[in-house]
Amino acid sequence: MNDTLQYLLSGNEAIALGCREAGVNLGSGYPGTPSTEILETIAKQAPEIYVQWSPNEKVGLEVAVGASASGARAISTQKHVGLNVAADPLMNVAYTGVGGGLLIVSADDPELHSSQNEQDNRHYARFAKIPMLEPASSQECKDYIAEGMALSEQYDTPVLFRVTTRISHSKGVVRAAEVKPHAVPGFKKRPDKWVMLPATGRARHHVVEERMQALTRLSESSSLNPIEWGDRRVGVITSGAAYVQTKEVLPEASVLKLGLSYPLPIEKIRAFAAEVDRLLVVEELDPFIEEQLRAAGISCEGKSATGLFGELTPGRLGGGLSRLGIIAQEQVATCSAEAQVTPRPPVMCAGCPHRSVFFDLKKHRGNVFGDIGCYTLGALPPLRTMDTCLDMGASLGMAIGSSKVSKDGRSTFAVIGDSTFLHSGMTGLLDAAYNQANITVIILDNRITAMTGGQEHPHTGHTLMGEEAPKVDFEQLVRALGIEHVTKVWNHDLAALDSAVSAAEAFEGPSVIIAEAPCALMPKRAHEQAYEVDTEACTACQRCARTGCPAITLAGLPAEDGRPQALIDPKVCTGCGLCAQVCCDHAIRHVPASENVEVVS
């Protein structure tokens, strides 16, 4: 990153560059698609900035608030649902205000590319009464960091920095600027500002409301909310990803682009509305802008064209505009229907250590309360053994609640990954111990935050910046919380796993199984000696295929009854051995050591 060149950067990479240019001192957060690469890029390319993964978003935001209170410029990053976890500090730092500039990045996921819901976090700006910036390109992702820091410091407020998947993960051309370092003066004791009690909180609430008025005045005149005059038959109010789709589909229209999208510049919008024949709001998900305009008595159209669901694509927006008669049907980007071909959903990798756990749990026929991570794929065919997925850590609370009321005779399991357990499973486990819930908790310890691409956490032994770190000991931890029945098992030993599950199930009260084996992909790719099918011995029972391993296909020779034998692709097989352990006929064996194969990446 030097300042004479242009770069092709994703929104997240551009945010990282913006942090460097704005002299950001600290970044913290918890990985979550589509936010993860912001802190990763800073760690790799701007080592002068201190960045860290926190165990969850609440702690992450509190770390950033502490740095801000000490005069640093700080950034907190998370995906949209992560901000729910951090909502408590968010609502209160709105009252205290900041020291150094504080930006809170919310990376929303319209279309649910990799999320459990598509909540619209613009509401948080209004809820917390803080300003919101919405960049519409990689260049703006970078530029708005410095804008946001200045805004935060000038108005003594945290700033919500709202991006979406199409902004975070799209790449565009970015021109770099000068780096302006920020000196950190240190923490200044000010109880009226930093100690929120009823008396101080009451006073700060007045500060918040006065700040909103001042921010509204700013929004009315800000260069971040420009009007691009064009054809005055249609005037569009829009922001973020919806802005670029508007320009794509309606390049001639007049547009009021909201970069500072909360509080709204209502009077500017009213004046804009008076200059155009028809006022249209183009926004994804909720009618956030539209409802505020209607409340202000400004008539407009919006959701009747754009709908409440998913991302706006050129075709979707065009279709809505043609229904309103704004563009002709022939101008709408359309395509024929997608060919009806076999779907290719994501699957657990070959050699994934989670597979054996679900394969075994299926046999135990319990109620399996699940959690969030790669292992959520255990809910899908062919394993189909996870019965719920709600939010980070919910497996424990839900298992406890169900176990207290269910009389169906089935065992209650909670299945949770190592990173998710450290994120918000520990308090749930404490509840299970305290309230003596008769549940079996399986911690899937693959020693990494795999789902989001392999991030460090307190059990990996490393930090985001590559320093060595203490590794939390799960066994000691769960015992300290009050769990007596604790077993540790190697996932790739199916018999040991099965007896551990049976013993835990039989135990009256809360029990924990720490089921461990490293992720098959990260930090390094699993590569043990591959297996093959002995075509003499295979009776085509196809039990191995029911593990759902992508290395196994039913493309082998037909057996006596005509059913195809299994075939193991030696280039995909990692040698975990699960299929050999489930085979009824002992027909799966190691490939002879002499036949080495190249491993594809």
List of residues contacting another protein (CB under 8 A): 6, 8, 33-34, 113-114, 165-166, 169-173, 244-245, 247-248, 251, 313-315, 318, 333-339, 341-349, 374, 377, 381-382, 451, 453, 521, 545-546, 548-550, 552-555, 598, 600-601
* 8-state DSSP, 455: B
3-state secondary structure of 303: helix
Measured from the CB atom, the residue of 273 and 357 that comes closer to another protein is 357
Q: How far is the CB of 601 from another protein (least distance, A)?
A: 6
If the CB atoms of residues 478 and 545 are measured against another protein, the closer one turns out to be 545
- In 468-587, beta strands by DSSP E: 485-490, 511-516, 531-533, 552-553, 567-568
Cα 519 to Cα 524: distance, rounded to the nearest angstrom = 8
Q: What is the smallest separation between the CB atom of 425 and another protein, expressed in angstroms?
A: 22
**Tokens for 582?**
């489930």
For residue 301, give the DSSP letter: B
In this complex, which beta carbon is closest to another protein, that of residue 33 or of residue 420? 33
The nearest distance, CB 58 to another protein, in angstroms, is 23
169/270 with CB nearer another protein: 169
Closest CA to 458 of 60, 109, 96, 49: 60
Q: What is the gyration radius of the CA atoms in the chain, in angstroms? A: 27
**Cβ 127 to another protein shortest distance, Å:** 27
Q: How far is the CB of 172 from another protein (least distance, A)?
A: 5
CB closer to another protein out of 2 and 336: 336
567 Ramachandran zone, left/alpha/beta (phi>0; psi -120 to 50): beta
CB 8, min distance to another protein, A: 5
Of the pair 168, 261, the CB lying nearest another protein is at 168
Q: How many CB atoms lie within 10 A of CB 551?
A: 23
- State the minimum distance, in angstroms, from the CB of residue 318 to another protein: 8
> Which C-beta is closer to another protein: that of 348 or that of 389?
348
Instruction: Tell me the C-alpha distance between 302 and 425, whole Å.
Output: 41
Residue 555: CB minimum distance to another protein, A = 7
- d(C-alpha 436, C-alpha 579), whole Å: 37
**What's the closest the beta carbon of residue 533 comes to another protein, in angstroms?**
13
Phi-psi region of 99 (alpha: psi -120 to 50; beta: other; left: phi over 0): alpha
Q: Which of residues 241 and 515 has its CB atom nearest to another protein in the complex?
A: 241
Judge whether 15 and 145 are in contact, CB under 8 Å.
yes
Which residue's CB is nearer to another protein, number 382 or number 461? 382
Q: Where would I find the beta strands (DSSP E) of 229-328? A: 231-238, 253-257, 260-262, 278-282
* Cα atoms in the 13 Å half-sphere on the side-chain side of 389: 18
Instruction: Report the distance separating Cα 3 and Cα 180, nearest Å.
Output: 12
Separation between Cα atoms, residue 175 and residue 2, nearest integer Å = 10
